[in-house]
Structure 1
Amino acid sequence: MKEDFLHHIWKFKKFNTLNLKTYNQEEIIISHVGQYLELAGPDFFNAQITIGNQKWAGNVEIHVKSSDWYVHNHERDAGYENVILHVVWEHDLEIFRNDNSEIPVLELKNYVAPVTLNNYQKLLAPKSWIFCEKQLKEIPQFTLTNWQERLFFERLERKSKPILELLEATNNDWESVLFCLLAKNFGLNTNGEVFLKIAQIIPFSIIRKECFEVENLEALLFGTAGLLDREKEDSYFKDLKFRYFYLLHKYQIEKSFIEPVQFFKHRPDNFPTIRLSQLANLYHKQQNLFSKISSLNSLEAIYEIFGVSVALYWQTHYQFDKESPKKKKSLTKSFIDLIILNTIIPIQFAYAKSQGREDSEDLITMLNEVEAEKNSIMEKFSSFGLKPKNAFETQSLLQLKNEYCSKNKCLDCAIGVELLKAH
């Protein structure tokens, strides 16, 4: 038995409220269970309860055992002096306020239906991956659809926080924020944080001024990444290095030293040299990029905007001084889909929110057209009968797994609540 289950039982009155009595046999009538705070202090605030012939307004504290009151040191906290009812699963000890008055106790185990308890024990049975893995097929589609939408926007809210932090750091320059986000996502998991630092080191005003020469953009990105630090015989390397130090002098920028980018364990098309060249080419071909995508909801238009490749040199190289067979190395559809998921949708959401606009339906509609992500989490959900059809559903399922299943927050999850209902 866990307290979160008792919180759920009390919050939603999942117990027999008829002939309800305290442990000392005083009648209880619940007018209002109170507000569930989930903060320090009593669990439910400002409940309204009649005990015997007296109506009370105050707080409700919930424990598995009455003695947990002292285990949690509530007797030392003045915030618990106005508790009007102590709700427990098992009453094993009388609890008194500082004025020696006894706090009334409701022992819930006498009022919870066996089927509710059985559903709870079934839900939290030993798991191999998530608790409800064997019951997912039982969830009504209506419940699942509504919950997926809520999960999707929870995930967007979480993704929008660092965007708004970047916005503040860049003096409300949305173009600069987009550049930082794109850089991070071009770096993928391995180089994402380093690419973000590169984008933050280079003032975006310089990117604006130098975007008409792609070699200058490459020089800034490669140089800041430390990829021009060594000496090489390659003429393109020498040209970029000359441009880099010229631009440092021109704009009075101090050379920064950051952790090295990683090549190890990457497929060649994901080498940082290739991704940085693609990013440079994107900003060479698409000026005022944020203005173009801030309200764009056409996938075809997005694929067209991001249909960029590498500089001519990188079509025959993956690293300096090492020639390879010619390949255009354009951004793939699957990579652009990642950009849509991790950059375009979150920044559109954050921008609309900052403008007081509502574009929820447009975002869902767009992601319904993006292919479902393929990863180990989606494979697991599919094996248990919950196969996502598009990126909207995969984003929702990622939020479900990471923020609910992995944290055992079954009783805060619509799926868990549905499974607790009597059948």
Structure 2
Amino acid sequence: MVAAVWEATRDTVQETFLHFVWNYQRFASAHLVTVEDQPIEIYNLGHHNSDAGPDFLQAKLRIGDICWYGSVEIHINSSDWDRHDHQSDTKYNSVILHVVWNHDKECCREDGERLPVLQLSDRVDLQLLSKSNSLINSPLAIPCQEQFSQVRNIDKVSMLDHACVERLRRKSALLLDMLDSNVGSWEETAYQWIAQHFGFKKNAEAMLKLATRLPHKLLLKHQSEPLDVEALVFGVAGFLEGEARDQHHAELKRRYDYLAKKYNLQEQEMLRVEWDFLRMRPSNFPTVRLAQLVCFVSTHAKFFDLIVHGTSGMEVRGFFDMKVSAYWQLHYDFGKTSKRVTAGIGKSSVDVLLINGVVTLLTAYGTSVGETRYLDRAVDLLQGLKPEQNSIISDWEALGMEVTSAFDTQALIELKNEFCLKKKCLSCKIGLKILSS
């Protein structure tokens, strides 16, 4: 029976499984020896390294009669050491033990020292390997859904906390890259980031393109004259080309012609066709969102400071509680009147801006200045918002997952997209609990 399991699984060992086995010491550790029969005692397995270099750092081992402090590298085969060119990389001179599934070659570090090798294939329960592979190779979108109910709620909540924070950090890294491209200007970065999210899913890319072509500092020069701000935004966005559709359109065209020449904006102009109008309600048209952005920028000159230093979620939400101009309350495009008055941004749209725009901005700023209170504020804001509704959340709710806030939904979206779909079960606390059961 054991031979049959080994035959079925020996070609499906993954390094992530070996990392799990080493990290949680899920191998027979009695009478541990190297492939050359040197006894091994483990005092400290080391901590997992997610950056470049050896897999586990600061391990403490006794090999033979010598106590070693250093790194542990893990591979499926010993020969992978050379295949990955570690033999010529000085970063791996700290490796004191090479942990492998199968020893097939003697290898040396860059400094010429031969590597002690621990082979795990005869020390791991193959049923554990089979169980791991059944999760990782599952065709289900949520690989553990059949075992999900067996996991304690406290373990699920723990993973949600981890997933949500990971999502915030991952998204804030994108914003910090934007900050670098803006030479450290938080005002310009906040403007571009918030503008991008005013485009929501379909026009986010176009909104970001507009914001990078039309600097916030230029709009600030005209903040006291909202019609100038509107002319600049719609002009660079590409909506003031062609014949005027009505008197308001004509007035914006007149203003923009002057401003475009003054600031040499002609080369920055986008095309109307770059904006997506398909399969959306008029209230979500990019023209309406641009009008809302104009209102936001005109109302809040230094909105980055307002957001970062806002004392509560309600106060930050209030920054988006504003009325667009009288024209855009009655129109959804130039020359096209709305059937009903639309004064400002809808509550659900504000929620999306808070979740995707403000929360990430707070997290990124906190990361930049090294203060966790901004991450705490981001988490508090999410916990105060209603849960999102989409197919991903419905899938989790069908498994009995209780969802009470946007914190939960953001965590579950991250869990599904970054763990479940990528089969990172061995990096998930829920997956680890299932393997340990």
- Please say whether Structure 1 and Structure 2 have the same fold, judged by a TM-score greater than 0.5: yes
Match 2:106 to one of 95, 115, 129? 95
Residue aligning to 1:379: 394
CA distance in 2, matches of 1:77, 1:284: 55
Task: Describe the SS at the equivalent of 1:62.
Answer: strand
Residue aligning to 1:126: 138
CA distance in 1, matches of 2:143, 2:124: 22
Match 1:414 to one of 419, 423, 429? 429
CA positional deviation for 1:36: 3.7
Task: Describe the SS at the equivalent of 1:392.
Answer: helix
Q: Cα distance 1:141–1:361, how it changes in 2: closer, same or farther (>3 A)?
A: farther
Task: Describe the SS at the equivalent of 1:106.
Answer: strand
Task: Describe the SS at the equivalent of 2:309.
Answer: coil
Q: Does 1:3 align with 2:15?
A: yes
CA distance in 1, matches of 2:80, 2:131: 25
Q: Cα distance 1:380–1:106, how it changes in 2: closer, same or farther (>3 A)?
A: same
CA distance in 2, matches of 1:182, 1:55: 55
Residue aligning to 1:212: 224
CA-to-aligned-CA distance 1:139-185 (integer Å, 9 cap, x gap):
33333333322322222222223333444444544333322222111
Match 2:407 to one of 360, 378, 392? 392
Residue aligning to 1:187: 199
Q: Does 1:368 align with 2:396?
A: no
Residue aligning to 1:404: 419
Residue aligning to 1:139: 151
Amino acid corresponding to residue 321 of structure 1 in structure 2 = G
CA-to-aligned-CA distance 1:102-154 (integer Å, 9 cap, x gap):
75543323322456445424433523202222222233333333332232222
CA distance in 2, matches of 1:33, 1:341: 39
Match 2:281 to one of 247, 250, 267? 267
User: Contact between 1:297 and 1:366, CA under 8 Å: does it hold in 2?
Assistant: no
Q: Cα distance 1:14–1:374, how it changes in 2: closer, same or farther (>3 A)?
A: same
1:6-17 alignment, distance < 5 Å = 6-17=18-29
CA positional deviation for 1:239: 0.8
CA distance in 2, matches of 1:178, 1:104: 52
CA distance in 1, matches of 2:242, 2:418: 44
Q: Cα distance 1:285–1:116, how it changes in 2: closer, same or farther (>3 A)?
A: same
Match 2:360 to one of 331, 336, 346? 346
Q: Cα distance 1:282–1:14, how it changes in 2: closer, same or farther (>3 A)?
A: same
Amino acid corresponding to residue 372 of structure 1 in structure 2 = P
User: Contact between 2:236 and 2:265, CA under 8 Å: does it hold in 1?
Assistant: no
Query: Could you tell which deviates more after superposition, 66-75 or 103-112?
Result: 66-75
CA-to-aligned-CA distance 1:78-119 (integer Å, 9 cap, x gap):
87677654433344x352549999755433233224564454
CA positional deviation for 1:363: 2.6
Query: Could you tell which deviates more after superposition, 331-340 or 313-322?
Result: 313-322
CA-to-aligned-CA distance 1:299-320 (integer Å, 9 cap, x gap):
4333433123432223332222
CA distance in 1, matches of 2:308, 2:92: 50
Task: Describe the SS at the equivalent of 1:210.
Answer: coil
Residue aligning to 1:323: 337
CA distance in 1, matches of 2:159, 2:222: 46
User: Contact between 2:317 and 2:354, CA under 8 Å: does it hold in 1?
Assistant: no
Task: Describe the SS at the equivalent of 1:362.
Answer: helix
User: Contact between 1:6 and 1:62, CA under 8 Å: does it hold in 2?
Assistant: yes
Q: Cα distance 1:136–1:332, how it changes in 2: closer, same or farther (>3 A)?
A: same
Task: Describe the SS at the equivalent of 2:139.
Answer: coil
Structure 1 runs not aligned, ≥5 long: none
Q: What's the TM-score once normalised by structure 2's chain length?
A: 0.84
CA distance in 2, matches of 1:29, 1:377: 46
Q: Does 1:27 align with 2:42?
A: no
Task: Describe the SS at the equivalent of 2:100.
Answer: strand
CA distance in 2, matches of 1:171, 1:47: 40
CA-to-aligned-CA distance 1:226-275 (integer Å, 9 cap, x gap):
11111134221111100111222344544423352221222211111111
CA distance in 1, matches of 2:382, 2:94: 49
Residue aligning to 1:313: 327
CA positional deviation for 1:193: 1.7
Q: Cα distance 1:420–1:199, how it changes in 2: closer, same or farther (>3 A)?
A: same
Query: Could you tell which deviates more after superposition, 197-206 or 182-191?
Result: 197-206
Q: What's the TM-score once normalised by structure 1's chain length?
A: 0.87
Residue aligning to 1:282: 296
Task: Describe the SS at the equivalent of 2:121.
Answer: helix
Task: Describe the SS at the equivalent of 2:386.
Answer: coil
Query: Could you tell which deviates more after superposition, 332-341 or 233-242?
Result: 233-242
Amino acid corresponding to residue 95 of structure 1 in structure 2 = E
Give me the identity figure in percent.
Answer: 35
Amino acid corresponding to residue 327 of structure 2 in structure 1 = Y
CA RMSD after TM alignment: 3.1
Q: Cα distance 1:155–1:75, how it changes in 2: closer, same or farther (>3 A)?
A: closer
